[in-house]
Amino acid sequence: MPSRARNLPADERRAVTVATVVELAGEQNPSEITTAAIASRMNLTQGALFRHFPSKDAIWQAVIAWVAEHLLARVDRAIEAAGSPLAALEAVFLTHVAFAATYPGVPRMIFGELQRAEDTTCKRMVRALLGQYRERLVRLIEAGKTAGEIAVEIDTAAATTLFIGTVQGLLMQAMLAGDVGRMRVQGPALFALYRRAIRSMS
């Protein structure tokens, strides 16, 4: 969202920068996004960015913080609105898929950070985000077991890994086809399979 307004206050400029990076990451390989490209999209000179961020890495940290905040907020809202643990899992799944379809750059960034070998601040932030996400899944799966919706003999850790992998598979399919919109269409069929994997045999 390139604003026409000039001389934005610092916090707004930072927010616009984050939004711009998310937008650019949806169009190209995140690791190839240059500060010049970010600035150009914002109708700004490249040097101006460094008035608001001490380094390019700081920009990435701000972006990841934005993602963590918004994704987890949406997930929590989906969980609250659901009537049962299994319904909540489905709502989280569809929320996650919708988020990825809305901001296709986000999964690309997450992938990119994870495949980095060194333990950077960004990678640690991504790891923390996934940890919190996984925490919520564990809680739902355990609740589903006591509610009788999910088979008690299921390995909870494996079930969370499969949940994330299910989203992942959908994402990879979409990246292959270059069509993020199809994710929303294929999502329900994939979750149906996931439900078969974990449901109790009543």
Partner DNA sequence: CGCTTAAGTGAGTGATCAATTACTCTCTTT
Partner DNA sequence: AAAGAGAGTAATTGATCACTCACTTAAGCG
- The DSSP bridge partners found for residue 100 are none
Binding mask 63-102 for a second copy (x = CB under 8 A): ----------------------------------------
CA–CA separation, 104 and 175 (whole Å): 9
Which residues, 6 or more positions from 86, have their beta carbon under 8 angstroms from its beta carbon? 144, 147, 149, 150, 195, 199
Residue 135 binds to a second copy (criterion: CB under 8 A): no
**Angle at which helices 56-81 and 85-102 pack, to 10 degrees?**
140
CA gap 60, 34 in Å, rounded: 11
By a kind-dependent CB cut-off of 5 to 8 A, residue 36 interacts, out of a second copy, DNA, none, with DNA
> C-beta of 15: minimal distance to a second copy in Å?
25
How many secondary structure helices (H) and strands (E) does the chain include?
8, 0
Size of the site for DNA (CB under 7 A): 25
Shortest separation between residue 170's beta carbon and a second copy, angstroms? 6
Which CB sits closer to a second copy, 13 or 141?
141
- For residues 193 and 95, the answer to whether their CB atoms sit within 8 Å is no
Strand partners, 150: 199
The residue from 52, 96, 108, 145 that contacts DNA (CB under 7 A) is: 52
Host H or E run for residue 49: none
**Residue 85, binding choice from a second copy, DNA, none, Cβ under 5 to 8 Å by partner class:** none
Work out how close the CB of 10 gets to a second copy at its nearest, in angstroms, rounded to a whole number: 31
Q: What is the smallest separation between the CB atom of 175 and DNA, expressed in angstroms?
A: 22
Contact (Cβ atoms closer than 8 angstroms) between residue 24 and residue 33:
yes
173 binds a second copy (CB under 8 A): yes
Give residue for tokens 């969202």.
Answer: 1
Binding mask 4-43 for DNA (x = CB under 7 A): --xxxxx--x------------------xxxxx--x---x
Place of tokens 């809202």: 77
- With CB under 8 A as the contact rule, which of the stretches 49-57, 62-70, 75-83, 187-195 interacts with a second copy? 187-195
Binding stretches for a second copy (CB under 8 A): 27-31, 108, 111-112, 114-118, 127, 130, 154-155, 157-159, 161-170, 172-173, 175-176, 186, 189-190, 192-194, 196-198
